[in-house]
A and B are shown apart, each in its own frame.
Chain A
């Protein structure tokens, strides 16, 4: 299979087929990226298209210094940030921002969204990039401009927190089944 970077260079050389292949590979992931972060499927579709339009317009300036995947999600992250700023300006301060994709989500999905919503925003972004976009630690670090070790530690904290949120929903005891995640938790479990 031709790599994304080769396709991008071919598209830079004028190949429309290369772009269509890239579109086929990344349209759905990008739509999912926006859909999980913003409210409304139409807006997610619009922003996914905006991402590809940005790729087309900036194609002449593209240099294969990073993975195409990182390049695309970098554009997507900027579009999400711009969209959130816009929403913050447009929505009155008294109103609450609707959670993304809640209305039509089934119970389990709603439960996951609520658990994610309880996380710190920086940790939430990392865990979502890892779990849904399947980015590596180094790709996340490059996108968010933070060290790889920071990505790993924040991801670890986020997963522990998620485990707690999800288990609290299930009503299970965090010490009952698994190895404690930290020494403090270990001691707390022993005290019990």
Chain B
């Protein structure tokens, strides 16, 4: 921009081309209206454009050339080919038949599985607990007899009542009186209902697919440790896993390494291991699975049993009265059952977590490359020697001072004590030799 013209000629040209921003275009318009030089320049720019337009070329043939039409038709044929109604080749027909047959077979398998699964589940649960339905009935009968024999006292079918003393069992009564037949039946009902929640019966309610705790181990060697470390995070992010434990070691004289315990969802295990293999060269790999279905089902059953027992005991305690010692014994029993429930709940949660998240133990080691150790220069060695000398001198002085502080008082004391006898002995010796 000059003093005379608030806008450069290049900008003026851009304005004439319609390429100037609005703010500058406003300046250009205002200036162009009153500046004859710029008006002349604008006229010349337009004149150049006008003169260039004198170079006209003849118009081409207006129709679409045959080559392009042919290309368009070819393209349309290609587009229509998949949907054309032309006869389907025999091979394609065969393929379709096989596809239909395959789909039908898959459908049959699915239906078969749906029909088979309930029966399979019952059988599996029986195998897991070692009891069949008739066995459960027999067990119920046995417990009934046991309960009757105990005069309505708590017959401990699952070990939940074993802490209750015989005295409390036999003397728990209304107003200190022994339990009547009706009361005995109530107590029996409590115990029986607890027994009916046995593992075999609970299995029917809580049956699900097999529960397997999956674990895997991968040992890798990589030549790019940092990339492998970053890749591990990326893999975990991709498969929505997390690091249970991570230890990185960078020892001198050997390659770096890290050991990580990764937790990923069971359905992501294979994909995660597949991705982990890409981080380096696989040295070793292992996978294992432990089926815990029976353990889980048993745990569920015991838990439900314990809850029911706790509930019934609480009801009995609320409805009945007795000796203070008996009430305290029942409360103690309820506390014990409560403790067992919480312990089993924690165990169940842990089991679920182990099943849901597979554990992968990944060890990644870096291929060690020995670094070239350049010798220390003479000046560096001299400096190191000077530093060592200074350090030795300071340590010597400090050691002397510390020695004096530590042993000085004792030395002074013993010196003071032994000085006069020693001097006396010395003088006596001197006198003897003088004679």
Contacts and interface: CB of A to CB of B under 8 A. Distances in A.
Nearest to B79: A14
Contacts of A28: 59-60
Interface string B73-93: 001100100000000000000
A130 B55 contact: no
Given A36-B55, A131-B53, A178-B37, A156 B72 contact: no
A153 B54 CA distance: 24
B52 A132 contact: yes
B76 A14 contact: yes
A70 to B, nearest CB: 16
Interface of B: 2, 5, 9-10, 13-14, 17, 19, 35, 37-38, 40-41, 43-45, 47-49, 51-62, 64-65, 67-68, 71-72, 75-76, 79
A179 B13 CA distance: 13
Contacts of B2: 183
Contact of B14 (A112, A113, A152, A163): A152
Interface in A1-50: 14, 16, 19-20, 23, 27-28, 31-32, 35-36, 41, 44-45, 48-49
A156 B9 contact: yes
A64 to B, nearest CB: 19
Interface of A: 14, 16, 19-20, 23, 27-28, 31-32, 35-36, 41, 44-45, 48-49, 52-53, 56-57, 59, 101, 105, 108-109, 111-113, 116, 127, 130-132, 136-137, 152-153, 155-156, 159, 162-163, 166, 177-179, 181-183
B38 A179 contact: yes
A56 B35 CA distance: 52
Nearest to A136: B19
Contacts of B65: 45, 49
Given A159-B45, A159-B48, A53 B68 contact: yes
Nearest to A131: B52
Nearest to A138: B19
Contact of A23 (B40, B54, B68, B75): B68
Contacts of B45: 159, 163
Contacts of B40: 177-179
14 contacts: A23-B68, A45-B65, A53-B71, A101-B55, A109-B56, A113-B55, A127-B52, A130-B17, A131-B53, A163-B48, A166-B48, A178-B41, A178-B44, A179-B5
Which of A108, A159, A163 gathers most chain B CB within 10 Å? Answer: A159
B28 to A, nearest CB: 13
A181 B13 CA distance: 10
Which of B65, B76, B79 gathers most chain A CB within 10 Å? Answer: B65
Contacts of B68: 23, 49, 52-53, 56
Nearest to A152: B14
A153 B41 contact: no
A177 B45 CA distance: 12
